[in-house]
Amino acid sequence: MKISKYILALSLVTGLAFLLVGSILGLSPQGHQAYVSAATTNQIQPVITSHLMHGRTSMYGIASPGAKVDIYKDGALVRTVTANSGGLWTNTGLEINENDVVQVKATLNGTSMESPKYTVRLIAQPLITSEVAVGATSIFGTADPGIKVEVWVGGVLAKTVFTNASGYWVAPIPTLTSGSGKVVQARAKLFDTGSWYADSLRYNVVSMQKNQLQPLITSELTSGGNSVSGIATPGAYVELYIDGAYIATPRADSQGAWTTKVPILRHQSRIEAIANYSGQRWQSPTCIVKTGLSKPTVTAATANQTTISGTATPGATVALYSWYSGLKTTVIANTNGIWTATLPPVAPKEALYVRSTIPGIFDRYIQSDDFGVRTVPTVTSTLTAGSNIMQGSATALSKVDIWQSDIKIGTTTTNLWGDWWIRDLPGLLRGQQIQVKTTAPEDGSVLESQKYTVQLAFVDPVASSMIVVGTVSISGKATPTSSMEIKIKDKSYFTTVNEAGEWSVTVPPLVKGDTVQMISRFGTHIYQSAIYAVPDRPGTYALVSPDVNAYRLGNAYITGSFIDTRATKVNLYNANGVLLRTESINANGTYRIYASDKLLSAGETFKIGISDGKVESALVTSTVLPRQP
């Protein structure tokens, strides 16, 4: 493996988080210490975390939650703002220019602390943050966002690149070799001519003295994030530290990549990695967490819960939404990136999501994944022997597995409203136990329904195979274990329905003009199907027309039922046969289609048909009845 090429590819995708804030922003040495405790005041030292660039009109940073923050420019007080409950303060509308000296002072409970002084630069000094060693084929570092960076090796221009929106750059170069006086330097240029540039320090090319690669943190480190990744010698154990505290020890894989989950990253936290390999320890460059927006989350919530929490960028504004009812509440994430909202009891099956912003600074929100309120699954359809359709409710957006006597017979998912349905199950067996199990996508948690017993129910027989010219086998559904008579004109053919409610019979080839009807008998119970007409043209088939319930003027929906399980849509037409609306039909053999905006007078004629996407049943004509007295 050529680790330098791996660094290059990874850097281009994610950017490298070696943002040495002090050098870029012109900090004094104290500026590298983001959280300086004051034992007598329990305050943290205020810090400006935004990039102080000539012409900028926005500024932000951190301080103790609730502290008054005075902003000084060239020693004069120009603005006063307040740090929110997450310790984040923001200011807009104050322009800063080259050589301005900016400082903030935070006051809490009558005690004040000052930040370092920051000098605004027209062009920040670029930094090389990669190791400059013999054998390296790429160099990377930081500079102003969007600026041109030239990389010089031994006094010769080796590569010209541009920084990305976060100020990271990476430059492939010829393989570095040793040699007296061999140095590498980066130059950030605002324009191609003139003195509008800034040079980095000069870095001597060093020999590789160790039997391992220096570990590097390659993920972009943004406040509110919860993972860190990087590279090291393949197989090395990598100790990760945040603000000096040990966090985890991931192991680099065969390609040298490692990653680990971490507590929510705070603004300006310092992160280091130490790789252990063959008895040697090697530390990465120190990386600083920059202020930005990370994707927020919602933690587990159950039906009727009144407190919802999650994670977001510390100090960010978090708006909690429901797919049912829209915006519910707005809160601020605390200094640890945790937000908590109190609201009326959440409804079962409800789907929630949050949007995170930093008003005036990052107004474009970042949205969490949808989160389904944990809801115990239920089956709402009638479970009858022979049925192959089922529906119910559960946690929104969860996976639904259907089990019959400990054998999984189907899988589907719930929608945003927590409803699920499934067709084409194996026929349910009388006396068997049905149970539904749901799996939440966020954490894999499983909820189980009660167990339901499949009951015997008498149903009208129906054909599920195509009845067309030339057909020699007809199959369908009927009451389990009943006897079946299939009548074709004046001849009858007999079979028995199995435990799953399925039947099949061999018949002479159907011809044009034949009619087919099924009769099932169970004890003294006799049920007949609709009469199926064999279509005139070979290779075609017909759907059985639906039933239409009485519809009165002003009712929202036309409703009805159907027996042809091949149907997937219901269509509403006016008296002239013009299509007015199409809706999906339910899995339980019923349908409803919105009509109150289309049928506006009593006595008006309308037509209903069902289709499977290929053919449509004969249309059923009905009339709008007067309003209910």
199 lies in the same domain as 181: yes
For 221-264, write each residue's pLDDT tens digit: 888 888 999 988 899 999 999 988 999 999 999 888 999 999 98
**Residue 539 within any structural domain of the chain:** no
Q: Where do we find the tokens 């000539």? A: 54
Give dist(CA 580, CA 607) in Å, integer. 10
Kindly state whether residue 36 falls inside one of the protein's structural domains: yes
Contact 378, 393 (CB under 8 A): yes
| Rounded Cα–Cα distance for residues 384 and 358 (Å) | 55
SS3 state at 229: strand
Query: What pLDDT does 21 receive?
Result: 34
Same structural domain, 115 and 32? yes
The token pair at 28 is: 């004094």
Q: Report pLDDT digits (tens) over 93-141.
A: 999 998 899 999 999 999 999 999 999 988 888 988 777 888 888 888 8
- Domain count within the chain: 7
Asked if residue 34 is part of any domain, the answer here is: yes
Which residue among 243, 266, 288 closes a domain? 288
Q: What percentage of the chain reaches a pLDDT higher than 90?
A: 43
- Residues 266, 319 within the same domain: no
At 11, is the secondary structure helix, strand, or coil? helix
Task: List, for residues 608-620, the tens digit of each pLDDT value.
Answer: 999 988 888 878 8
Determine, yes or no, domain membership for 199: yes
Are residues 224 and 199 part of one domain? Answer: no
The verdict on 13 and 139 lying in the same domain is yes
Does residue 538 lie in a domain region?
A: no
- Claim to verify: residue 94 and residue 59 sit in the same structural domain: yes
pLDDT at residue 448, as a whole number:
95
Residue 629 lies in a domain: no
Structural domain for 261, as ranges: 216-288
Shared domain check, 502 and 568: no
Residue closest to 590 by CA, chosen among 546, 528, 553, 557: 546
Give the residue among 108, 299, 136, 323 at the shortest CA–CA distance from 214.
Answer: 136
**What value does the mean pLDDT take over residues 547-558?**
90
Q: Give the model confidence (pLDDT) of 285-329 as tens digits.
A: 888 888 888 899 998 788 888 999 999 999 999 999 988 889 999
Question: What is the pLDDT of the chain when averaged over all its residues?
Answer: 85
| 628 in a structural domain | no
CA distances from 629 to 112, 552, 553, 626 (A): 76, 11, 11, 8
Instruction: Looking at the structure, tell me whether residues 346 and 231 fall in a common domain.
Output: no
Tally the C-alpha atoms within 13 A of residue 513's C-alpha that lie toward its C-beta.
Answer: 1
Do 54 and 185 fall into the same domain? Answer: no
Give the pLDDT confidence of 173-232 residue by residue, as tens digits. 999 887 756 899 999 998 877 778 899 999 888 876 555 677 888 888 888 888 999 988
* Co-location of 188 and 258 in the same domain: no
What pLDDT score was predicted for residue 22? 36
Is the pLDDT higher at 458 or at 150? 150
CATH number, domain with residue 555: 2.60.40.10
Among 119, 152, 173, which residue terminates a domain? 119
Q: What are phi and psi of 332, to 5 degrees?
A: -115, 135
Q: What is the DSSP string of 267-309?
A: TT-EEEEEEEETTEEEEPPPEEPBP-----EE---BTT--EEE
